[in-house]
Structure 1
Amino acid sequence: MDNHHFDNLLRALQETLVSAQDGLRKRNEAVLRRRDTPQDNAVLTFAIPRTPADEGEREMLSLPAASFRSPCCRQISMLSLEFQCRLTQSLLSGIGRRYYVQIANGKTSRWWRKAQVRMQILFMGMDHPCGEVLVEGKHFMEIPSFGAESAGSPEITAKRSKFSLFMDCLLNPWRPQRFILTREQSDCLRKILKQQPKKSVDGETAVPAKTTPGGANEEADTYGE
């Protein structure tokens, strides 16, 4: 199982949204170029009857095909991702408790469902999307707006290549991914979970296991602890 920072997940999703926006923008520009070229002279011809009678005279009407194309440019104004995830805590040497987020991938067991929570990642905006993260419907954290770097710069191209590989790894069902929160994020999440009732599955109340000191990798299911 691979471990990553939760902020890297948010940035990867943000980069994916911006890349999709760039793809739509390029497609719209290509359509406009074809519409403005002299070669795009296709014509649609309609035979309109002068009278209601089927055998009556017909008037031919020709209209340019380009006039039937939609002038609207497709854009993504909002992206919302909602999923179930499992939260665990670890005691690291010299560091307070931090949460790990593991996204539920496919069918989960009863043990998994006892410790899982609902998380939503919401992005808004087109050129510089920003957003927020919700946990069990409550505000968890803000997502800052995307930087104003040039879309064609080598640095941005390298970043997007890196994040594309990260997304491919995330979507691999045979290699689970965990995302560690910062200390500040963990403290905020802990306050939210304390306000939630205990999870139960099939009438059984989920009792979180306690983390014992002494190990760097000791973990416990910590919903609502």
Structure 2
Amino acid sequence: MDFELDEWLEYAERVAGAFAKSFYGIDKDDIYQELAVGLITKEEVLRKNARTPAYVKRALQNVAHNYCMGERATHYFYSDQYDYTPDTVKVLVEKVLCGEPGKMSIPSDASPESQVEEGMILNAEISRALDELPESYRAILEAKYVIGEDLSTNERKTFSRAINRLVSNLNTRKKAETKEHEGPGSRKALTNAAALYNTKAVAA
């Protein structure tokens, strides 16, 4: 396959548009930028390896999906109208264990000072939840995300139990803290960026 960058950038724009519609509140241009950077930086690799169109399409869709899930996962943390889900927790855990808390997205209308503070809070919240897990659960998460091991059938079951335990603990703590701090006039209106629907993107 002849890899034509301009043609794939056009396709990336269509993918970005499709995912922006499915993930309400995430800007199409932000998704497109993520895809375009990946295409441009890996252009030579894609040319040399002569990847099939189906492979490149699937790769772009996966990148878009992971980006949107990462954006939505962080916003779950800041709105008591949503609960953590296994998918969002997996994204957050991977970022913390791989040492990438700085890549966690913060609402775009936040001040520079609060962006730093909220990123640290989210990182600390997930780290605390990880520290409270049984050692066997923590070990399987590190094997999956840090070492990159292929898990056996039994290990995948343990991995699922670890994620479900995290989901339960995080939601329990979140509800308790929300109830503790909530009072007359304490609710804040959600920004458009924070009010994300719990939807799944449809592949373009």
TM-score, with length taken from structure 2: 0.25
Select the structure of larger CA radius of gyration. Answer: 1
Whichever structure has more helix as a proportion of its residues is: 2
Whichever structure has more strand as a proportion of its residues is: 1
Specify which structure has the bigger relative contact order, considering alpha-carbon pairs within 8 angstroms and separated by 6 or more residues: 2
